[in-house]
Amino acid sequence: MTLSEVKKNPQVLEFIKETEKTLAALSYTDHGLRHANLVADRARNIAKEIGLSKNNQELAAITGFCHDMGNFISRGHHNYFGALLFHQVFNNDFEPKEMAIIMQAISNHDKSQEDMSFANPVSAVVVLADKSDVHRSRVTAQKMEEIKADIHDRVNYATKECRLKIDKTKKRITLTLKIDTNFVPIVEYFEVFTDRMVFCRLAAEYLGYNFGLVINNFRLL
């Protein structure tokens, strides 16, 4: 089973479609196909860059695509719902070990800091791919007054560039952002993303890397 095959599954596509609608109704940033595709591509690239096997690269990409699809059931505990849905849809399509890796990685991507732990590299890769997605293209609100009223929308809208770079020589994974400080002060980024950056640091450390953060050419981590 490959990512291209998973992307054709009508149940998965419907779950993501309904997630997009549900979270838009709740005024959340994008968790639909744009986010799913970006996280899948980023997860594959990270896994490839750090030297994971071809199979783990594929598992990371598949997990990245499916990680948020449980949101249409409930925002709370969507990570667990998503893992169970994946098992329900693909139970006969993966070896037991592969299924366990994917389910664990889906469930692990949105835990509390106290519960965040890693037992396989796919989980760590998906956390990095997911939590590093901050960009104005994630904003679903249409009116500027709505964007300015919500801190998540403000921070994402102000972020004009987002890149994740792997330096195998220095063993460093760096997230580089360009944020329009005329739209939001940098402190608002940390109000929203501090926990997510901690998760990225923990994920990078599990993979044997340091995590760095650069905003507007200033290295902060």
CATH of the domain at 129: 1.10.3210.10
**What is the total count of domains within the chain?**
1
Structure tokens at 46: 């990270």
What are 150-200's pLDDT values in tens digits? 999 999 999 999 999 999 999 999 999 999 999 999 999 999 999 999 999
How many whole angstroms from its chain centre is CA 130?
A: 1
- pTM given for the model: 0.95
Give the number of other Cβ atoms within 10 Å of residue 10's Cβ: 8
What are 128-161's pLDDT values in tens digits? 999 999 999 999 999 999 999 999 999 999 999 9
Element (H, E) at 12: helix 10-25
Residue 141 lies in domain: 3-219
What is the residue whose two structure tokens read 């050419």?
217
- Please give the pLDDT value at position 115: 74
Dist CA 177 CA 123 (whole Å) = 23
- Please give the pLDDT value at position 116: 76
Concatenated DSSP letters of 178-211: EE-TTTS-HHHHHHHHHHHHHHHHHHHHHTT-EE
